[in-house]
Structure 1
């Protein structure tokens, strides 16, 4: 549930028109992203990745590897007071036990809150598996939208009591 990833998002280069060509492109590029897990650091992972790519690049080929951004990984503990309040609020509103599901995401400020403010974060999700998050035909179940609002209101009420 919490494994690192390396995703290739695009590889522009070469002939892309109609028909076939057997020409080797003069230039090519790739856009990638990596999801890290606890105990990995963006700069260290980037350095290891760069070293590996350089080691497999044939002689005579020029490459350029750039790190555009990076953020520390974060795993939210479910045993903290804030997450337990969210769990109780969602149970009240949805009428079912809360299920904790680990899910990768790219929200760099979450790790920063804990690192600099020394407070845990709470991530509350109201989507369904078939909502196709960040995919074609993405949608959001409207009743979950309204129950999500109710859950957040109840969450703040529980925290303030």
Structure 2
């Protein structure tokens, strides 16, 4: 059963209100995460089926880990003169940025990386580039009415008209359902 919940403010960004600006620090709309920038175009012809896209995103991208534990906190250090500015908040990657992590890491034999909303944006973008229906969903995860955190996932419509929830943070692709 779906319930409507007011999304709580992001800790540390209360002064911004309930706004996506708190996630990316820029004025943007969520659909801008679904960009079609380079290097996405080469995958449009390589990934031929919905199953290809599902398997690609799950098998080629890992959830970011810090000291062996999953983390959606992106750690960046920016140096300016003698001052170090550390950004530790969650940063939502565009689809092309998530795919770029794969290209950069392949040189070292590693997978790309992205947390739940990053790989969901990539998944939905790849579907939309093929002109298939797909939606990026963002929501709260509750257990016994208590907020555990937030999650992002994709939903797509199969040929038979059945909507499928796509969990991109798995480590191994599950058996693809037959339509």
Q: TM-score range by the shorter chain?
A: under 0.3
Bigger strand fraction: 2
TM-score, length-scaled by structure 2: 0.23
Structure of greater Rg: 1
Greater helix proportion: 1
TM-score if structure 1 supplies the norm length? 0.24
